[in-house]
Structure 1
């Protein structure tokens, strides 16, 4: 008599548990912003403090960009779930170390380790979503990951400010301990995925070697997409203060929160409407919204006009990251899904530092005009949308000649 053991089926609980780790990547930056002045004052006698404190803040994101491919290989070798749980525990311990450290250099060193754990957390949680869910469910949860990141940024900003007000500059570092609770939830209600749970159409791809020819172009495009996505998140306060006279921190924080909500709206619109379209059409819509909004920001005479285009821009950004991560995940077989996700994340997160450098360079060529710089970026996005439109027509022609029932991943 043979015994058939049914595969466990992931549901809403597992989906939510795999969304929560992405907040750790956001926490690495956002929760400390309210106490940056306090840290500058605390370490004012340290030579180069004006460079070291901002470096301390951004090091984790840089580590994610640099270490993501290595993290992907670790995730594939040791297992996605156990790597995620271990990384969350270490993240909590290392993240809270500055509560007891008095040396700025020691704090910076702890942030390097924190960034390495962030890389493991982002790659393993994203890969697990790709392992657990398939088809429309995968699209929904991957898009929700971006929405979770955007919405959590609002809450974490308030949390960092509250902890800083009560406990001083050290207070926000206590927030990193939250990752322990996520690790416990994953330990209790998730399991290590198995290749046998993959749909047959995806298992067939696993016989191939690492898909360099497909994931490399996606990763390179992710550098461009990430640059366009992060630019407005970084420059929104500069635009509002320098060109519209809004300098009150409370008002700037309100508009920043509005931008985060718009990103979440973009991910919702993606999962509700554009996810059913081919990838080329998804990119056409996302880059089109980004391009038009960037161009129109250069022609916005009032704050209301600028904010309206800011919302459109961030909606396009939310649709773009959702489309690209689903696209990348759909091209990766089970055995190398972690490494492929790592390559994609490297490209996307490189967009954060590159966006600042690109804006600085273009402003230098345009007599310091930020609106004119944004218009140049908009034109580049519109060119990307035009290229995507060509891919859309080619994809339509290809589908017309393919045999019925063939699976399309482009």
Structure 2
């Protein structure tokens, strides 16, 4: 199918973008039930206690490193071809570990998947801005945020079942993703876009875009660090409160996560409001939830706090993506969303270390939750003062 500049995007394009946007989550959650099995299978590999979890996080590091390059190339040579090529690369990298017995080959496969992820995540966000005006864009962001948790439930369940057969079998789930480049070939078209002109650079628009890129990066990075405080450490907080039974922890986490779609709907309702309102409500709910978890002493209080926090987290991804798309001029959208991807996944990568540092300083994980909750509330004030939108 040839590229065109006259087509109008609709439901098929929106569905492809939503499916592509789920793949980064799939890169992580598919292997969550597999880490103990991997550790046991490769027990003779030096430092396997550290390297086994790295199997999950390795693609995220690739996104942080290659996201800006993906955005730059998308602006230079277009979106469609890159999306098709790198979604194929994602699928190939995903299934490689099924066919190997070497731990180093497994890591290579994960890094290949991560490079593919960097491009498809960046380009799917770019196309969301290219194809749809703000109202429809917000609708697709809401759909994306609702479908993600549901999809994740089935992926984790399936992965756990496959892991009971053998450590390699969950990697077969990535073969399903190879249908996406087929859909992209038939339904994704190259949007109308303006390349940065010499006149824009000379007139100062390029400088403006550079400032906007810096703003997008640091806002997304800080929000990502705070976003993952709960996601990566909630089970440790529950253990500190005295809730350590895995079934109980899983039940509490699952019930609270049901609020994520509600946060996405809340974003849709506030989609036309200013950054002050969107970020203010998002950081307020995440902050209140974190503080609540940190001071909880029983099940009912921690559950209430987790529910509030998860509503805020449900808002977070669509708020951040919409912010990135609004902040950068259209001709620099590729670069903008590449920087966005880098900031978000760098935040994911460093969040455990930041939390670990604060936990050591404050004495335990519950105190750390309170500190990060207060930081979220400070971000509400900072955003209100400095955001001129």
The equivalent residue for 2:52 is 53
Alignment partner of 1:373 is 2:368 = yes
Which residues in structure 2 correspond to 1:182-197 (within 5 Å)? 182-195=180-193
Which residues in structure 2 correspond to 1:21-60 (within 5 Å)? 21-60=20-59
For residues 384 and 285 of structure 1, the distance between their equivalents in structure 2, rounded to whole angstroms, comes to 11
Q: Offset at 1:83? A: 0.8
For residues 204 and 252 of structure 2, the distance between their equivalents in structure 1, rounded to whole angstroms, comes to 49
Unaligned runs of 5+ in 1: 197-202, 396-409
Alignment partner of 1:340 is 2:336 = yes
Q: Check the 8 A contact 1:151/1:264 in 2, yes or no.
A: no
Per-residue CA deviation, residues 172-220 of structure 1 (Å, 9 max, x unaligned), is 1011111111111121122111128xxxxxx9xx993261122311210
The equivalent residue for 2:264 is 267
Q: Check the 8 A contact 1:89/1:180 in 2, yes or no.
A: yes
- Taking a change above 3 Å as real, the CA distance of residues 87 and 260 of structure 1, as seen in their structure-2 partners, is farther
The equivalent residue for 2:248 is 251
Per-residue CA deviation, residues 42-99 of structure 1 (Å, 9 max, x unaligned), is 1111122112211122100111112111111122223212111111111111211111
Per-residue CA deviation, residues 139-180 of structure 1 (Å, 9 max, x unaligned), is 222343333333322221112112222x31111101111111
Quote the RMSD (CA, aligned, Å). Answer: 2.1
In terms of mean alpha carbon deviation, does 207-216 or 370-379 score higher? 207-216
Q: Check the 8 A contact 1:20/1:148 in 2, yes or no.
A: no
- Taking a change above 3 Å as real, the CA distance of residues 296 and 156 of structure 1, as seen in their structure-2 partners, is same
For residues 332 and 58 of structure 2, the distance between their equivalents in structure 1, rounded to whole angstroms, comes to 27
- Taking a change above 3 Å as real, the CA distance of residues 258 and 338 of structure 1, as seen in their structure-2 partners, is farther
Alignment partner of 1:309 is 2:305 = yes
The equivalent residue for 2:385 is 390
For residues 163 and 37 of structure 1, the distance between their equivalents in structure 2, rounded to whole angstroms, comes to 14
Per-residue CA deviation, residues 250-275 of structure 1 (Å, 9 max, x unaligned), is 4333333334432222111111x221
Alignment partner of 1:219 is 2:235 = no
Alignment partner of 1:111 is 2:110 = yes
The equivalent residue for 1:10 is 9
Unaligned runs of 5+ in 2: 195-199
Give the TM-score of the pair, scaled to structure 1. 0.87
For residues 295 and 40 of structure 2, the distance between their equivalents in structure 1, rounded to whole angstroms, comes to 40
- Taking a change above 3 Å as real, the CA distance of residues 184 and 237 of structure 1, as seen in their structure-2 partners, is same
Which residues in structure 2 correspond to 1:112-127 (within 5 Å)? 112-127=111-126
Q: Check the 8 A contact 2:84/2:184 in 1, yes or no.
A: yes
Q: Check the 8 A contact 1:27/1:153 in 2, yes or no.
A: yes
- Taking a change above 3 Å as real, the CA distance of residues 88 and 207 of structure 1, as seen in their structure-2 partners, is farther
Q: Offset at 1:302? A: 1.3
> Which among 312, 316, 320 is matched to residue 324 of structure 1?
320
The equivalent residue for 1:295 is 291
Q: Offset at 1:360? A: 0.7
For residues 251 and 13 of structure 1, the distance between their equivalents in structure 2, rounded to whole angstroms, comes to 40
For residues 161 and 207 of structure 1, the distance between their equivalents in structure 2, rounded to whole angstroms, comes to 54
Q: Check the 8 A contact 1:244/1:303 in 2, yes or no.
A: no
Q: Check the 8 A contact 1:81/1:128 in 2, yes or no.
A: no
Give the structure with higher Rg (CA). Answer: 1
Q: Offset at 1:24? A: 1.4
